[in-house]
């Protein structure tokens, strides 16, 4: 029963309000005695004034009514209902119902469920590819069983996340147990927060009898490191093979890479097969796992599965571009490729074999065969660019703009010059002159033997300071490009001693967010020829490259990541593409427009708009992100890239790869997965059984009602009645005074 009490919420002390009332009453009595006529109208006016003051006093006390109400709160009982396409089938040889869907609806009509509807708040959560909007029991018949995939594990996790902290008496699970997205069945053994009552929708059994082998799943990292081996686990499943071995073939880029003989039990089953993948070079590798079609096999479009692996560099990526090879570039290349802290790519310009009047890029060493076009897409994969001895004609305006933008965004540039780069028709004639740390006329190099010393800035430089490996005395060089006058913000690391004085040979500066280092000699390689075991040449370059290698946050102020909810899906199943944009902590997230480009196996490009939405990441936490959905129409390997424009600059994600198989396991006739269904009931402390057994368990389910005490406040002064009454009293008094010509 509700109980109520009066409370007064006035902030001013009640004694002051009462004192004000007394003063007002005294003033009213005095005024009436002195000015009002001794007649009926005078008595009525003073009575109206007293009534006004009484109502005003009541309002000033701010009265309220506090009520205490005790309510009985019923616990929730949840029905998790599978609406995927496999629910329209049955593998039962003697079915009690037409299909699993009819069996599920029959469970909802059992006495146990009817009892719970009177004692609990019953909600039905349908699911297929994802958890859907809950409905009432009487709306179940209106649901369509048209889902193209079942994701039981996802639906359960979403369900318990949504109902976290609420009282749940139990969960009735109506599904066939076939999760088309999970690689293994161990997910059902998790610790679930509420007991699950799992109904057996058909008698478990076997579907006859044609041989059927399929590639159930392929599990391998979709990104690998160049030079590292990875493992591919292929799950082969099927039946009807009479226990005889059959081959599983792995093709890489269309060529057979490995073949393994597999044998399944005569009664059917599954087995994992291991392949070892080698990744010798950077790029995208396309794989196909294939089972040859068996005699009399009917279901054949699930005998193969494709996927792609993107091979990335392991460490800091360094790009070295050089004209025809020279002594400096030969020794520098050796220093690069012996440095275990970087992953170098080197390209030389050589006469074109088909048209000797032109030049082409030739990859150095074991990277032969790589193509290069100095595009922004290729440059952004690197952290440092080294330009060798080019003249102005070798670098187009587009190339120069690309390099300038690379350095402005945080990349590093080393100018390993020679007589071309520092000559009259060299880099100073291009747009790259903007980032040079000096000005200089294009005079030829001074030749001789010149001692080299560190400058004070060089000794204190972060790349060289406190480095015991760097010698205090440096070997001489045989050439110096003299006459360099340092620009603002530039400093020399080392000077050469010439007859005309000191000349800088190593000059550095900051340009935009990047770093620039210019080498004003083409004989630094002489340091490699120093007698003894202490070779300063590779040590110097190792330290310089380490200092010039920017971190990821220096390269990109913003970072955009794109990923899918599943690495392998089927034709017609939706691929959920999710992106997250990392921004500096000091900035406020804005309403940026994020888009996504999907490239299909037939090289079509499909643009998609991504919507802002909270997404879940590992550990169950939620972050702001962007989501879009894509339904593939053809099997094969797909690539997606997300992009966003911020402050006039386009930020792109790394490619996101996913594979699409020709058919979904959802509509393949197979018996219920009793192993998963029993595991769900066992690990949650619930019950597994047929409709009658589940009904009996629900009838015996203890339902604990909870009583909650609520306090309700009802303001008794802040209402139209009291405000209207005050206005009415004043209006009546004013009207009576006017009628009697009283002021």
Q: How far apart (Å, rounded) are the C-alpha atoms in residues 738 and 743?
A: 8
Q: What is the CA radius of gyration of the chain?
A: 40
Give pLDDT, residue 620. Answer: 43
Give pLDDT, residue 96. Answer: 83
Summarised one tens digit per residue, pLDDT across range 275-284 is: 988 888 878 8
Q: How far apart (Å, rounded) are the C-alpha atoms in residues 406 and 383?
A: 9
Helix ranges, 3-99 (H): 14-35, 40-60
Give pLDDT, residue 460. Answer: 65
Distances (CA, A) of 30 to 16, 23, 34, 54, 446: 21, 11, 6, 18, 115
Query: pLDDT tier at 182 (50, 70, 90 boundaries)?
Result: confident
Q: Do residues 515 and 437 make contact, with C-beta atoms less than 8 angstroms apart?
A: no
Output the six-digit token pair for 317: 């990526």
Could you tell me how far CA 338 lies from the centroid of its own chain?
A: 36
Where are the chain's structural domains? 3-71+712-739, 75-207+669-699, 212-312, 316-554, 556-665
Query: pLDDT tier at 670 (50, 70, 90 boundaries)?
Result: confident
- DSSP letter string over 157-177? HHHHHHTTTS-EEEEEEES--
- Nearest alpha carbon to residue 248 among 226, 217, 202: 217
DSSP character for 567?
Answer: S
CATH fold of the domain at 316-554: Rossmann fold (3.40.50)
Summarised one tens digit per residue, pLDDT across range 567-602 is: 567 787 788 888 888 776 567 888 899 999 999 988
Mean pLDDT, the chain, whole residue set? 83
Sign of CA dihedral 234, 235, 240, 244: positive
DSSP character for 571?
Answer: T
- DSSP letter string over 656-668? EEEEEESS-GGGS
- Nearest alpha carbon to residue 612 among 593, 631, 629: 593
Q: How far apart (Å, rounded) are the C-alpha atoms in residues 288 and 252?
A: 7
Angle between helices 691-699 and 111-119 (to 10 degrees): 30
Q: In this model, does residue 619 exceed pLDDT 50?
A: no
Q: How far apart (Å, rounded) are the C-alpha atoms in residues 103 and 96?
A: 8
Summarised one tens digit per residue, pLDDT across range 156-173 is: 988 998 888 888 999 999
Sign of CA dihedral 736, 739, 741, 743: positive
Query: pLDDT tier at 369 (50, 70, 90 boundaries)?
Result: very low
Summarised one tens digit per residue, pLDDT across range 272-305 is: 889 988 888 878 888 999 999 888 777 777 788 8
- Nearest alpha carbon to residue 200 among 171, 176, 172, 178: 176
- Nearest alpha carbon to residue 61 among 23, 28, 15, 27: 15
Q: In this model, does residue 68 exceed pLDDT 90?
A: no
User: At 315, phi and psi to the nearest 5?
Assistant: -130, -160
CATH fold of the domain at 556-665: Immunoglobulin-like (2.60.40)
Residue with tokens 């006058």: 485
Residue with tokens 């997404």: 615
Give pLDDT, residue 568. Answer: 66
Asked whether the domain spanning 316-554 has the same topology as the one spanning 75-207+669-699, the reply is yes
Q: How far apart (Å, rounded) are the C-alpha atoms in residues 693 and 684?
A: 17
Q: What is the C-alpha end-to-end distance of the chain, expressed in Å? A: 54
Residue with tokens 């799992």: 198
Region 325-333 average pLDDT: 88
Q: How far apart (Å, rounded) are the C-alpha atoms in residues 409 and 386?
A: 16
Q: In this model, does residue 64 exceed pLDDT 60?
A: yes
Q: Do residues 369 and 280 make contact, with C-beta atoms less than 8 angstroms apart?
A: no
> Which H or E element spans position 10?
none
Summarised one tens digit per residue, pLDDT across range 672-719 is: 989 999 999 999 999 999 999 999 999 998 888 777 677 776 776 777
* CATH top-level class of 75-207+669-699: alpha beta
Of 735 and 381, the one with more pLDDT: 735
Q: In this model, does residue 465 exceed pLDDT 50?
A: yes
Give pLDDT, residue 621. Answer: 47
Give pLDDT, residue 250. Answer: 94
Q: In this model, does residue 207 exceed pLDDT 80?
A: no
pTM greater than 0.85 (yes/no): no
- Nearest alpha carbon to residue 479 among 503, 455, 461, 463: 503
Give pLDDT, residue 104. Answer: 94
Task: Tell me whether strands 485-486 and 438-439 are parallel, antiparallel or unpaired.
Answer: antiparallel
Q: How far apart (Å, rounded) are the C-alpha atoms in residues 178 and 616?
A: 24
Query: pLDDT tier at 368 (50, 70, 90 boundaries)?
Result: very low
Region 8-19 average pLDDT: 82
Residue with tokens 């000096």: 438
Give pLDDT, residue 362. Answer: 77
Q: How far apart (Å, rounded) are the C-alpha atoms in residues 54 and 492?
A: 91
Please tell me the total number of residues recorded for the chain in this structure: 743
HEC letters along 80-113: EEECEHHHHCCCCCCCCCCCHHHHHHHHCCCHHH
DSSP character for 576?
Answer: E
Q: How far apart (Å, rounded) are the C-alpha atoms in residues 619 and 605?
A: 34
CATH code of 212-312, in short, is 2.60.40.10
DSSP E strands, 130-206: 168-174, 196-199
Which residues, including other chains, have CB under 8 Å from residue 571's CB and lie 6 or more apart? 632, 633, 634, 635, 660, 661, 662, 663, 664
Q: How far apart (Å, rounded) are the C-alpha atoms in residues 623 and 638?
A: 26
Output the six-digit token pair for 495: 């000077």
């Amino acid at each position: 029963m509700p109980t109520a009490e009066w409370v007064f919420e006035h902030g001013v002390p009640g004694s002051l309000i009462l004192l004000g009332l007394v003063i007002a009453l005294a003033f009213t009595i005095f005024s009436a005695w002195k000015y009002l006529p001794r007649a009926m109208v005078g008595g009525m006016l003073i009575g109206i004034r007293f009534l006004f003051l009484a109502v005003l006093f009541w309002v000033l006390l701010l009265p309220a009514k506090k009520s205490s109400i005790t309510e009985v709160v019923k616990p929730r009982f949840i029905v998790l209902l599978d609406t995927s396409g496999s629910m329209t089938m049955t593998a039962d040889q003697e079915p009690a119902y037409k299909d699993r869907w009819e069996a599920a609806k029959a469970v909802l009509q059992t006495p146990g469920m009817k009892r719970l509807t009177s004692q609990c708040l019953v909600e039905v959560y349908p699911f297929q590819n994802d958890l859907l909007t809950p409905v009432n029991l009487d709306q179940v018949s209106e649901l369509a069983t048209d889902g193209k995939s079942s994701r039981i594990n996802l639906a359960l996790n979403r369900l318990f996340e949504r109902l976290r902290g609420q009282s749940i008496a139990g969960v009735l699970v109506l599904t066939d147990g076939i999760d088309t997205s999970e690689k293994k069945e161990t997910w059902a053994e998790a610790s679930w927060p509420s007991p699950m009552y799992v109904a057996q929708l058909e008698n478990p059994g076997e579907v006859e009898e044609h041989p059927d082998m399929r590639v159930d799943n392929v599990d391998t990292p979709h990104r690998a490191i160049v030079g590292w081996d990875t493992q591919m686990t292929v799950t082969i499943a099927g039946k009807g093979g009479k226990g005889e071995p059959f081959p599983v073939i792995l093709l890489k880029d269309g060529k057979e890479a490995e073949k393994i003989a597999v044998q399944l039990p005569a009664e059917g089953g599954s087995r994992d097969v291991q392949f070892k993948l080698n990744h010798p070079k950077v790029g995208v590798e396309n794989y196909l796992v294939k089972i040859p079609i068996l005699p009399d096999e009917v279901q054949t479009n699930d005998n193969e599965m494709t996927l792609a692996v993107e091979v990335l560099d392991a460490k800091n990526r360094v790009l070295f571009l050089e004209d025809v090879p020279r002594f400096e570039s030969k020794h520098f290349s050796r220093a690069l490729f012996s440095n275990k802290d970087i992953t170098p790519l080197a390209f030389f310009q050589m006469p074109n074999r088909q048209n000797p009047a032109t030049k082409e890029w030739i990859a150095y060493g074991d990277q032969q065969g790589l193509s290069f076009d100095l595009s922004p897409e290729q440059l952004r994969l690197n952290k440092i660019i080294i330009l060798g001895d080019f003249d102005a004609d070798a670098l187009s305006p587009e190339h120069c703009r690309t390099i300038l933008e690379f350095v402005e965004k945080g990349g590093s540039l080393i100018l390993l010059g020679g007589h071309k780069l520092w000559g009259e028709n060299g880099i100073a004639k291009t747009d790259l002159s903007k980032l040079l740390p000096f000005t200089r006329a294009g005079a030829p190099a001074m030749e001789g033997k010149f001692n080299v010393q560190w400058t004070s800035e060089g000794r204190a430089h972060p790349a060289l300071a406190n480095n015991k490996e760097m010698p205090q005395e440096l070997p001489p060089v045989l050439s110096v490009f003299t006459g360099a006058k340092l620009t603002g913000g530039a400093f020399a690391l080392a000077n050469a001693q010439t007859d005309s004085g000191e000349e800088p040979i190593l000059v550095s500066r900051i340009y935009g967010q990047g770093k620039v280092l210019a080498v004003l000699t083409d004989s630094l390689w002489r340091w490699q020829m120093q007698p003894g075991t202490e070779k300063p040449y590779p040590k110097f370059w190792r330290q310089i490259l380490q200092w010039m290698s920017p971190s990821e946050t220096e390269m990109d102020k913003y970072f955009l990541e794109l990923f899918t909810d599943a690495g392998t899906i089927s034709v017609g199943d939706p691929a959920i593409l999710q992106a997250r944009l990392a921004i500096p902590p000091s900035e406020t997230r804005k309403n940026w427009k994020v888009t996504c480009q999907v490239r299909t196996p037939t090289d079509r490009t499909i643009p998609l708009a991504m919507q802002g939405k909270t997404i879940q990441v590992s550990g169950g936490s939620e972050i702001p992100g962007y989501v879009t959905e894509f339904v593939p129409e053809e099997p094969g390997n797909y690539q997606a890239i997300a992009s966003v424009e911020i402050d006039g600059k386009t930020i792109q994600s790394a490619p996101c790869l996913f594979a699409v198989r020709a058919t979904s396991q959802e509509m393949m006739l197979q018996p219920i997965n009793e192993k998963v269904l029993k595991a769900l009931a066992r690990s949650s402390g619930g019950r597994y059984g047929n409709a009658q057994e589940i009904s009996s368990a629900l009838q015996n389910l203890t339902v604990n009602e909870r009583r909650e005490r609520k306090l309700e406040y009802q303001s008794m002064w802040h209402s139209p009645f009291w405000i209207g009454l005050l206005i009415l009293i004043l209006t009546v008094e004013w009207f009576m005074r006017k009628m009697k010509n009283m002021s």
